[in-house]
Structure 1
Amino acid sequence: MRDTIPRDKKRDLTSGSIAKTMLLFALPTLGSSVLQSLNGSINAIWVGRFLGEEALAATTNGNILMFILISFVFGFGMASTILIGQAIGQKDTVMVKRTLGTALGSIVPISMILAATGWLLGPLLLEILGTPSSAFDLALTYLRMIFIAMPITLTFTLLMMALRGTGDSTTPLWFIALSVAIDLILTPLLIMGIGPFPEWGIFGSAFATATANTVALVGMITTLYLRGSVLALNRSDLRFLRPNRDILKSMFSKGLPMGLQMIVISSAALTMLSLINREGVQTTAAYSATQQLWTYVQMPAMALSAAASAMVAQNIGANQWDRVSGITRWGLIFNIVLTGSLIGLMTIFDKPVLSLFLGDDSTALPIATHIQLMATWGFLFFGIAQVLFGAMRANGYVIWPLIVMIISMYPVRLGFAFGFYSKLGSDALWLSFPAGMMATAIMGAGLYLHGAWRKGKVLPPKEAAQITEGYRAHGGCNACCRDYEPTTAWERSEESTPVAHRS
């Protein structure tokens, strides 16, 4: 008989109304994304207004490197979320703790190595990015502070994703809100040295973000223990911080392709930007303003994708495959409603919204409204693909979605932009975005309907059972096994049987 999961803030995603459950999960996730994006935009305003263009360029270069690193952790965290979600569906507390312990026991040492390496190689990394010389010293200061804070940032990200795997998307929202509030208050104080605070300039901006994340992380961990959360590792659970080889292998084999998807998207975006830059500074400015809109248009799709992934993972764990199709269907419906509504609003109010970034009299404003009209509708198909990918990755199906993303970003999007430029001019660039998104949705639908994703295994059930039963035999009670340190033989061998309880 499996352990009973503690009554914390987790949400059971395996019963009740699918539509209601999905909305209650997706809306806090959407709120988290909005808060983080607004925080980034406001911090950019502080830096740009008070420290100048060189400082703003410095933060941009540092954030590019941060995004690349977060991309890999995103994949690793999503793999952990899938494992945790399936274990929650099976009501297997031990597997949840084992998975989180393996994730933390791996990512924390790796992030420390990254922090030290990044500090030493910071100048080389900025040279590779081609950072302007006028912004180089500022960028190096900012980048080194980012690397110092790397263990905190990545652990915070991992724990938020693990919470969502348990069905709790509300707790991450509250602690992101706390982090954003602290960051927004500290950033101007430390940039300008207001009152008793030191005037640290760009270092103050990075330090404020690191401090905010640290406070939020401590608060989140404290909350997990106070609630008796399934994710709280007690004294007898600390052995789980020694990574399990099978779980770690599963995390990397499934997580790396998911992280690479974000890298593929970023690299294609950089290539497109180089093409757009050829159209002149006005067009580049117009495109940059339109991208601000796109940041928010794609948020419902990402939130629904996360909801679909967590819900499908728990229902697979509970062997309730009959709900999986319903989860995907409702995800697609909500995408059409939410993303479609945003696209409609952007189309109606595009000029006043874009003028916030460009100004009412900007010569780039008509270009921006044209770009928005030509390309933004494609995000409806982007949302369809993300919901389908979210459902499929819940069972560890990640290689083919990565291949689909590569095809859509390069042969389709960039091929369209290059191939039709002679006939359509700059419109070929804008239409290449919906062309790539439509291709992703069509191929994603083919994978969902005909792919082998339903047959996948994140961790073989027999191995999962051995991990659980082995723990109960050796470490599952505090009365007689508190000081026992298990070997990994029973974790690796499919033929091993648990050793009897010691007296």
Structure 2
Amino acid sequence: MAQSQVKRYSIDMCSGPILPKMLRFAIPLMCSSMLQLLFNAADVIVVGRFAGDNSLAAVGSTTALINLLTNLFLGLSIGANILAARHFGAREDEELSKTVHTSMLLSVLSGVLLTAVGVAGARQILTWMQSPPEVLKLSVLYLRIYFLGMTATMLYNFGAALLRAVGDTRRPLYYLSAAGVINVALNLLFVIVWKLDVAGVALATVISQCISAFLVVRCLMKESGAIRLEPRLLKLHPAKLRQILRVGLPAGFQGILFSLSNVVIQSSINTFGETVVAGGSAASSVENFVYVAMNAFHQANVSFTSQNLGAGNYRRIWRVLALAQCCVIVVGLLMGCSTVFFGPRLLRLYTHSPAVIDCAMQRLYIVCLPYAICGIMDVAVGTLRGIGYSVLPMIVTLVGACGLRLVWIATIFQIPAFHTIETVYWSYPISWIITGAAHFICIFFAMRHLKRRMMPEAS
């Protein structure tokens, strides 16, 4: 009875056919992530079409910095998801309730801290990133307004992570659909009618984030059973906080390391001028839709693996990994190739400048065509996190992806013959291949250890 209310939306990940349930989990999550991207894409499209290329560059060039500042705390939401899924799979209602209330209070504290850092440090950090002088003032304004809504962003992401832990990816989709429509409408009103430029798109994003946060919190408060959120029970339970931090901090640091390498890459891109920056911003916005489509299977793999670990289903974890990899390869190849094929048409949504579109296509050919490799790497990371290894993929990412990209920029890119924007972009697929291979080696040894722990009679 304790879990009857969530049964309508939850998914039994521990028994029965895996693929139909994985698709039922991943497809709404894929749509949710794409809607979340539309928040930023709508910003970029509206300013590119109605405010000019400098405004487009100002909004797009902040993406790497926003990811850098938020990824640590979004990593904590991954920790909350994994821990909640494990307790749900093991039917440990009291532990699940403690996880819910610790996670949601942690989201509020994270949001407040991010707002303070983002608002106070925007100009200095953008200056360190060598943001072009023509767009610096606009970038600072956009960033400061954007970070005023960070508490709402954290509330939504932690709340949605808890719902995903029990297999519910549909209701977050509904909430983001409502908020996304409002975001687009407000973008058009603030920029076209009221001429607020980048301030308008930032304000529209903040308002839509507040709406999605309100809806997901309201959903959790109306639930029954262990997943229910009760404000009077909000508390940082020390044991749960430690467990969330144990999994979430390495995941967050891994995100930071990726973002840090991307900030270095963005700084290198910035040296080629505003046309290349605008083209890279538009291409990045388009390719992000491919990434989140693949990432839905990474998140599905994390939740399925965590629940099956809680239920003690060792063999099923291998089947989950195999099916998640098949799905991410198909999605990555189809969407990556389609994005390149339709690239010029898609990019005209962002800008009418032929020079900007040409610069954007340079990036799409190098980054988007082999994007399936990135998806394969992420799904492998999902398995490691789901079975409790969070520090290991962080170390592999530090060495294999971030370290390689930094070395690439510091060495190959500095050679005059290779001092081109294409050289910068090639750092992405090369780092995916090397890091992905290292993650699979880690999975082999981690699963052998898990087998001895869960199936001692097979040792």
The answer, yes or no, to whether TM exceeds 0.5 is yes
Confirm or deny: 8 A CA contact 2:30 2:293 kept in the other structure: yes
Task: Identify which range, 378-387 or 426-435, moves more after superposition.
Answer: 426-435
Q: How does 1:380-391 map to 2 (within 5 A)?
A: 380-391=372-383
Structure 2 distance, partners of 1:404, 1:319, is 27
Offset, 1:201: 5.4
Structure 2 distance, partners of 1:140, 1:45, is 19
Partner of 2:394: 402
Judging changes above 3 Å, is the alpha-carbon distance between structure 1 residues 365 and 233 closer, same or farther for their aligned structure 2 residues? closer
Instruction: Report the AA paired with residue 244 of structure 1.
Output: H
User: In the alignment, which of 266, 287, 291 is matched to residue 294 of structure 1?
Assistant: 287
Confirm or deny: 8 A CA contact 2:53 2:351 kept in the other structure: no
Confirm or deny: 8 A CA contact 1:73 1:158 kept in the other structure: no
Query: Are positions 1:434 and 2:432 aligned together?
Result: no
Task: Identify which range, 439-448 or 50-59, moves more after superposition.
Answer: 50-59
Query: Are positions 1:7 and 2:5 aligned together?
Result: yes
Structure 1 distance, partners of 2:297, 2:114, is 32
Offset, 1:215: 2.4
Percent of residue pairs identical: 24
Judging changes above 3 Å, is the alpha-carbon distance between structure 1 residues 368 and 113 closer, same or farther for their aligned structure 2 residues? closer
Q: How big is each residue's C-alpha offset from its partner over 1:322-364, in whole Å with a ceiling of 9 and x where there is no partner?
A: 21000000001111211122233345445554565565x8356
Partner of 2:239: 246
Partner of 2:76: 76
Judging changes above 3 Å, is the alpha-carbon distance between structure 1 residues 169 and 264 closer, same or farther for their aligned structure 2 residues? same
Structure 1 distance, partners of 2:91, 2:82, is 14
- Could you say which structure has the higher helix fraction? 2
Offset, 1:245: 1.2
User: In the alignment, which of 441, 446, 450 is matched to residue 445 of structure 2?
Assistant: 450
Instruction: Report the AA paired with residue 330 of structure 1.
Output: L
Query: Are positions 1:260 and 2:253 aligned together?
Result: yes
Judging changes above 3 Å, is the alpha-carbon distance between structure 1 residues 147 and 366 closer, same or farther for their aligned structure 2 residues? closer
Offset, 1:313: 0.6
Q: Give the gaps of 5 or more residues in structure 2.
A: 452-459
Aligned length: 446
Q: How big is each residue's C-alpha offset from its partner over 1:386-432, in whole Å with a ceiling of 9 and x where there is no partner?
A: 11111110133111211221222245345456448677774544443
Which of these two proteins has the greater Rg computed from alpha carbons? 1
Offset, 1:101: 0.8
Which protein, 1 or 2, shows the higher relative CO under an 8 Å CA cutoff with sep ≥ 6?
2
Please state whether the residue corresponding to 1:91 is helix, strand or coil: coil
Structure 2 distance, partners of 1:140, 1:393, is 35
Offset, 1:455: 4.4
Q: How does 1:107-126 map to 2 (within 5 A)?
A: 107-116=107-116, 118-120=118-120, 124-125=124-125
Structure 1 distance, partners of 2:369, 2:61, is 30
Instruction: Report the AA paired with residue 252 of structure 2.
Output: G
Offset, 1:220: 2.5
Judging changes above 3 Å, is the alpha-carbon distance between structure 1 residues 437 and 352 closer, same or farther for their aligned structure 2 residues? same
Partner of 1:47: 47
Structure 1 distance, partners of 2:255, 2:279, is 24
User: In the alignment, which of 204, 218, 227 is matched to residue 222 of structure 1?
Assistant: 218
How big is the alpha-carbon RMSD for the aligned residues of Structure 1 and Structure 2?
3.3
Offset, 1:213: 2.2
Please state whether the residue corresponding to 1:298 is helix, strand or coil: helix
Q: Give the gaps of 5 or more residues in structure 1.
A: 457-503
Offset, 1:443: 0.6
Partner of 1:213: 209
Judging changes above 3 Å, is the alpha-carbon distance between structure 1 residues 129 and 363 closer, same or farther for their aligned structure 2 residues? closer
Confirm or deny: 8 A CA contact 1:48 1:55 kept in the other structure: yes
Please state whether the residue corresponding to 2:249 is helix, strand or coil: helix
Structure 1 stretches of 4+ moved >6 Å: 279-282, 422-425
Instruction: Report the AA paired with residue 311 of structure 1.
Output: F
Offset, 1:316: 0.7
Judging changes above 3 Å, is the alpha-carbon distance between structure 1 residues 110 and 348 closer, same or farther for their aligned structure 2 residues? closer
Partner of 1:336: 329
Instruction: Report the AA paired with residue 180 of structure 1.
Output: G
TM-score, normalised relative to structure 1: 0.78
Query: Are positions 1:177 and 2:177 aligned together?
Result: yes
Judging changes above 3 Å, is the alpha-carbon distance between structure 1 residues 51 and 275 closer, same or farther for their aligned structure 2 residues? closer
Partner of 1:97: 97
Partner of 1:24: 24
Partner of 1:305: 298
Partner of 1:482: none
Q: How big is each residue's C-alpha offset from its partner over 1:157-178, in whole Å with a ceiling of 9 and x where there is no partner?
A: 1101111111111111111111
Judging changes above 3 Å, is the alpha-carbon distance between structure 1 residues 122 and 70 closer, same or farther for their aligned structure 2 residues? closer
TM-score, normalised relative to structure 2: 0.85
Please state whether the residue corresponding to 2:320 is helix, strand or coil: helix
Task: Identify which range, 102-111 or 50-59, moves more after superposition.
Answer: 50-59
Confirm or deny: 8 A CA contact 1:79 1:396 kept in the other structure: no
Confirm or deny: 8 A CA contact 2:75 2:251 kept in the other structure: yes
